[in-house]
Amino acid sequence: MNDEFRSLFPLTSDVVYLDSAATSLTPTSVLEEMNDYYNKYCANIDRGVHHLSKLASHRYGDTHKKIGELIGCSGKEVVLTKNTTEAINQVAFGLDWSKNDHVITTVMEHHSNFVPWLRLREKGVKVDVIGIKNGQIDLNELKNKITSETRLIAICHASNVLGTINPVIEIGKICRENDILYLVDGAQSTPHLPIDVQKIGCDFYSFSGHKMLGPTGIGALYCKQKHQEKLKPLMVGGGNVSNVTKTGYTLKKGYHRLEAGTPNIAGAIGLTKAIQILNEIGLKNIRKHEEKLNKTLIDELRNLDGLNILNPDIDRTGVISFTIKGKDPHKIALQLDQKNIIVRSGNHCSQPLVEHYNYDKVIRTSHYIYNTQKEIKTLCKELKKLI
């Protein structure tokens, strides 16, 4: 990416930012769009007849539409949430579960697509966790775990530790053949890959704005319209009720019933701008850019003594994790931080996956559209010194 584009991200002039899987940098144009809301038409949505509320409501509603266009669905099937975690919890605790219902998830999940399903065991739901082979979901084990009681399969589109891109379309076919609900965690894929929920064949798809150039505090859940009336809202109150009496209430129809309270209006408007930027660049172009950076980084890391890359040869997003023999990942991350190189160390909210590789923590780099070949080589140069 050229210097003009990088100038939209002021932090890139100060640091080598390689922690985009945790949160991406936010362009100044996104912040300006959010400031315009606060400075020019600040009002609550769907709460008044005045022109400020109407404009804010229109802009908020436009976010549903733009997200739908991005992932291949109707804006009416988009529920705005706080983040991916809230979106997945809305499904996990919005569905009616019966004792002995069965859920299948995987060892490579982020805790946000893992813990909500484990918690269902309190309701008597059976939860199976399938393993991985060579950094990828073991499809044979997945098929073998399916029973007549299997109600839902929940998997990540891409791993936040390995970068693995899972065969979500193939898994979608398996779910349809067995009449199983299908939830995909798209937090690590939506910023990096073209998404079409119709091709994937999922019932639910979730992601967060802050990993795709947007602000924090805004995310989305794709929910097929036929499921919207079946989900119980996580919260009730202002915004998602159409009628209230002393003895009861009536919920609104569609996605409105799942969006209680005053939402993150500015965040939604900022996310719309972020989506516009991604569309202008093109997700296919983002993918090509990351693949080039991946090749450079993996080639360089392979030449460093004692450095072990987790599954270097998989099809991946811009996420690469590794360990260095005899070196503590946290210490390495702190030493890189002193050189203004930002990476993450730890279990990355994927403790079962990291432990699968017999580690308690690893070092993770995650690049994005604002990173350059020069920055990748700077990282490798500093790692070589540390080793």
Cα dihedral 56, 58, 63, 65, rounded to 10, equals 170
Answer whether residue 224 shows pLDDT above 90.
yes
- Per CATH, 3-27+282-386 and 29-280 having the same topology is answered no
The verdict on whether 349 is a catalytic residue reads yes
Residue 51 backbone dihedrals phi, psi, to 5 degrees: -70, -30
Catalytic residue among 73, 175, 202, 349: 349
pLDDT at 65 over 80: yes
The three state secondary structure string of 260-310 is: CCCCCHHHHHHHHHHHHHHHHHCHHHHHHHHHHHHHHHHHHHHCCCCEEEC
- If you ran DSSP here, which 8-state letter would residue 93 be given? H
The pLDDT value recorded for residue 205 is: 98
Once rounded to an integer, what is the mean pLDDT over residues 286-290? Answer: 97
* Residue pLDDT, tens place only, 72-125: 999 999 999 999 999 999 999 999 999 999 999 999 999 999 999 999 999 999
What does pLDDT average to over the chain?
A: 96
Closest by CA position to 227, among listed 56, 77, 55: 77
**Token pair of 275, please?**
């989506």
In the predicted structure, residue 365 carries a pLDDT above the cut 90? yes
* Helix 265-281 × helix 28-40 angle, to 10°: 140
| Percentage of the residues of the chain whose pLDDT score is greater than 70 | 99
Task: Tell the residue number behind the tokens 């936040």, with chain if given.
Answer: 160
Asked if pLDDT for residue 286 goes beyond 80, the answer is yes
Q: Is the pLDDT assigned to residue 8 strictly greater than 90?
A: yes
149 pLDDT exceeds 80?
A: yes
What pLDDT is attached to residue 1? 64
Residue matched to tokens 């093109």: 282
Q: How confident is the model at residue 2 (pLDDT cuts 50, 70, 90)?
A: low
Task: Quote the pLDDT of residue 48.
Answer: 81
pLDDT of 268 higher than 70: yes
> Smallest Cα–Cα separation from 278: which of 359, 191, 180?
191
pTM: 0.96
Is residue 165's pLDDT more than 70? yes
SS3 label, residue 98: coil
pLDDT band, very low/low/confident/very high, at 46 (cuts 50, 70, 90) = confident
| pLDDT tens-digit readout, 183-216 | 999 999 999 999 999 999 999 999 999 999 999 9
pLDDT value of position 3: 75
pLDDT at 11 over 80: yes
- Evaluate if residue 4 carries a pLDDT over 90: no
Q: Where do the domains of the chain lie?
A: 3-27+282-386, 29-280
Strands 307-309 and 319-324: antiparallel
In 3D space, the residue among 341, 344, 326 whose CA is nearest the CA of residue 377 turns out to be 341
What are the pLDDT digits (tens) for 301-350?
999 999 999 999 999 999 999 999 999 999 999 999 999 999 999 999 99
Q: What is the dotted CATH code of the domain comprising 3-27+282-386?
A: 3.90.1150.10
The CATH number for 29-280, chosen from 3.90.1150.10, 3.40.50.720, 3.90.79.10, 3.40.640.10, is 3.40.640.10
Quote the percentage of the chain above a pLDDT of 90: 97
DSSP label of 13: G
Is 5's pLDDT higher than 90?
Answer: no
Q: What is the mean pLDDT of residues 273-288?
A: 97
